[in-house]
Amino acid sequence: MSDIDLRLREDVHLLGELLGETIRQQHGDAFLDKIEAIRHSAKADRLGEGEQLSSTLDDLAEEDLLPVARAFNQFLNLANIAEQYQLIRRRDAGQPEPFEDRALPELLARLKAAGHGNDSLARQLARLDIQLVLTAHPTEVARRTLIQKYDAIAAQLAAQDHRDLLPAERQQVRERLRRLIAEAWHTEEIRRTRPTPVDEAKWGFAVIEHSLWQAIPSHLRKVDAALFDATGLRLPLEAAPVRFASWMGGDRDGNPNVTAAVTREVLLLARWMAADLFLRDIDYLAAELSMQAASAALREQVGDDSAEPYRALLKQLRDRLRATRAWAHASLAAPQPASAAVLVDNRELIAPLELCYQSLHECGMGVIADGPLLDCLRRAVTFGLFLVRLDVRQDSARHRDALSEITDYLGLGRYADWDEERRITFLQAELKNRRPLLPGHFKPQADTAEVLATCREIAAAPAASLGSYVISMAGAASDVLAVQLLLKEAGLTRPMRVVPLFETLADLDNAGPVMERLLGLPGYRAGLHGPQEVMIGYSDSAKDAGTTAAAWAQYRAQENLVRICREHQVELLLFHGRGGTVGRGGGPAHAAILSQPPGSVAGRFRTTEQGEMIRFKFGLPGIAEQNLNLYLAAVLEATMLPPPPPEPAWREVMDQLAADGVKAYRDVVRENPDFVEYFRQSTPEQELGRLPLGSRPAKRRAGGIESLRAIPWIFGWTQTRLMLPAWLGWETALNNALARGQGQLLAQMREQWPFFRTRIDMLEMVLAKADAQIAGAYDQRLVQPPLLPLGAQLRDLLSQSCQVVLGLTGQPVLLAHSPETLEFIRLRNTYLDPLHRLQAELLARSRSREAALDSPLEQALLVTVAGIAAGLRNTG
């Protein structure tokens, strides 16, 4: 067992012991003995020593259901904390340097060996434009209150690792841990009410405040050091390779709770939070920078007679930040005019900090300049006065309906009834027309009024506070022009990126022709200020066609877009709409970026980070740094050492795999008349709609699988460990390829083609988390007898997937090459197994009677959902 595994087990044991003490104090020895009996039964079942767990759980009294569910939920959260801490601790524990820390220095050495000069490397690194877009998809099950306690527990694990602690100090750490665990135990895991979109935005801001605010300057220091070691050159002050955007408060696709008023409030809250965070920095710097020697430029700014010129300048900035914060706060209640003191341009924040920095260097005090002042300057460049850029997202049908109402009112007929050419002719003419489209007395219906109100908020907001306008379910060039016209009508005079999102299999295949038509329109290219952004949808395409066909369609769509934009001499920015799970395009970011088509990552990369993955990847400063390092290294490598294009023979194989995969997937999901009913009986899909997870409804509209959002679709299968959306179709596709004698070709593709290797690696990872025995237990308790054969068939297909992947990798067990990951999975299974069995029992009881949402039974059920989500990490 490695040192990490040993320390992880020690930490998990300690946290579990302290949780046990807390449980004993509240529920007594007898109850704690039940918990231990359940845990031992789960272990015995895993070792094949009979079916002890079911009988142990069957003996539970009704009043024990909630505390038992809570106990195992907390065990899993504590195991997560220990694992995250151990991942950070590797840096200081005499272990080999983790890959996350080595990635950039090793890449720079390889790039130099490949012939890239120092200037070229430094220039490309400084120009990187990586945007991580934080989204509020409802898969973060932990409350913010608990997340803060979990972060404090991680800090105490770090504190106890100091080798020079006295016995009394070690005892103090243990007491703090005991207190924090008790506080977590006595805090409800589940929200009683759904969060509002504003609550979600505040949650996103909290991740910045408590983690990314520290991680960004620390990350950039290490990037600067790696660049200097490799080239002798420094990262420019204005460089911000990684920036953040957000959909929280801007994503109104299918969410009626996100309104124009909500978007305005979130923009103001972001300005308030940015001003508040920078005020803390400036207060500190004003106290520290007491030096007298200053450059002529700084003296001129504050007056020659100032005894402490740095403090004088920073106090001016502090006064303006206070005025900005006060204005943002007052504007939340009612619109307020901004006084001259309010900061409105990022240069107004950055310039005084740069002046102090340059003056200190000129006066021989570079060591002071390169301390906290440089960190503040890096934050100012990365976050600015607006903290994150807010994207707006809306469904193309809403724009179409709004324009239909408008054209109908104007006596032109219904826009929705026109063909594409007539729409384009109308839209282009109106975009050029100087007169308003609508008279002032036009009174639109509520939906159209909301679309127009959102456009007015965009027009009124500072450009630097906004990101892109994303059009869901885009399918034609007119979808982009429609948004441009609505924004123009609302008074927007500056350019804004309007981004078509291609989601379904058919839309991905049609993405190239749509963009060809758009870029070929007279005047469209001239109106582009910066790159043409296009969003690739992973969630809906996988739900529509399965991951085999969806992955290949995404790849081909990107290739076509790269070619088309190159022919039109337009820069392309691809925006990847990935979720946390493999079934929604998730997986290790580094490998995913390096598996993109050549030319698709040209110094620019935009991707969503969603729900619980935001906390797991960016919730702690140390973990956030590691993930920022991986993103930066991967985008730089994909830009400067892009993979070769796939061989024609590989393309043929992928075409056949995709065709076989989509047929096998749809034969089950679409063609089997029992499938929807089986899904609803065997998973907690119906109950997920009652979970107060996020502000969005679980469905876009009434209907079957096609009406479900991708998240409950994935979440339901994850809870039962069948993980069906991530693998269904691959088993047939790969087995058919082997039957055609293409085994050698598949091995070659896996060895030499990053795209295919990454797909198989992600498939292997999700299959290692799948568990047919657990899925079967749900069926036995929940599924009506006529549907049981379908469940057995699906578990057989899962088994086939596992066998064919093992055949491809040549390993005895899944993830044999990653013992660390296997250890994490094994460690969790002891706590997950009881939660799965308990959840199946609770679902059965809940469905047999109408239980109130706040009843102990329903609360216990929701806690099992939260616990399983925590244990499996990437839930939806």
CA distances from 181 to 9, 36, 83, 156, 498 (A): 18, 18, 16, 11, 47
Active-site position among 137, 590, 663, 769: 137
CB atoms within 10 A of CB 295: 17
Alpha-carbon distance of 156 to 175, in angstroms, equals 10
- Could you give phi then psi for residue 786, rounded to 5 degrees? -60, -25
Alpha-carbon distance of 619 to 146, in angstroms, equals 12
Q: What's the token pair of residue 500?
A: 């078509």
Q: Give the type of residue at 353.
A: L
* Matching residue, tokens 């039964």: 41
The radius of gyration of the chain's CA atoms, rounded to the nearest angstrom, is: 28
Q: Give the type of residue at 713.
A: W
Alpha-carbon distance of 443 to 306, in angstroms, equals 59
Q: Nearest CA to 795 among 776, 812, 781?
A: 776
Q: Nearest CA to 496 among 537, 459, 535?
A: 459
How many whole angstroms from its chain centre is CA 385?
23
CB atoms within 10 A of CB 334: 6
* Matching residue, tokens 């220095």: 105
Helix (H, G, I), strand (E, B) or coil at 213: helix
Q: What's the token pair of residue 188?
A: 């409800």
Cβ atoms of 242 and 134 closer than 8 Å: no
Helix (H, G, I), strand (E, B) or coil at 359: helix
The reply to whether 219 belongs to the active site is no
Q: What's the token pair of residue 448?
A: 């159209």
**Planar angle of CA 80, 86, 88, nearest 5 degrees:** 105
The reply to whether 543 belongs to the active site is yes
**DSSP readout, 184-212?**
HHTS-SS-SSPPPHHHHHHHHHHHIIIII
CA distances from 4 to 86, 164, 560, 624, 814 (A): 7, 20, 45, 20, 21
Helices (H) and strands (E) in the chain, counts: 37, 8
Helix (H, G, I), strand (E, B) or coil at 266: helix
Angle between helix 346-362 and helix 374-382 axes, rounded to 10 deg: 150
Q: Is the dihedral of CA 332, 337, 339, 343 positive or negative?
A: positive
The DSSP 8-state label assigned to residue 165 in this structure reads -
Alpha-carbon distance of 716 to 220, in angstroms, equals 39
Q: Nearest CA to 183 among 336, 48, 292, 74?
A: 74
Q: Is the dihedral of CA 551, 553, 559, 564 positive or negative?
A: negative
CB atoms within 10 A of CB 404: 17
- Could you give phi then psi for residue 337, rounded to 5 degrees? -70, 140
* Strand 572-577 with 532-537, pairing: parallel
Q: Which residues contact 392 (CB under 8 A, 6 or more apart)?
A: 250, 251, 252, 263, 454, 458, 466, 468, 469, 470
* Matching residue, tokens 């006295």: 166
Burial class of residue 416 (count of CB atoms within 10 Å of its CB; 0-12, 13-18, 19+): middle
Active-site position among 149, 399, 543, 576: 543
Q: What's the token pair of residue 569?
A: 């001499």
Q: What's the token pair of residue 731?
A: 């088993």
Active site residues: 137, 543
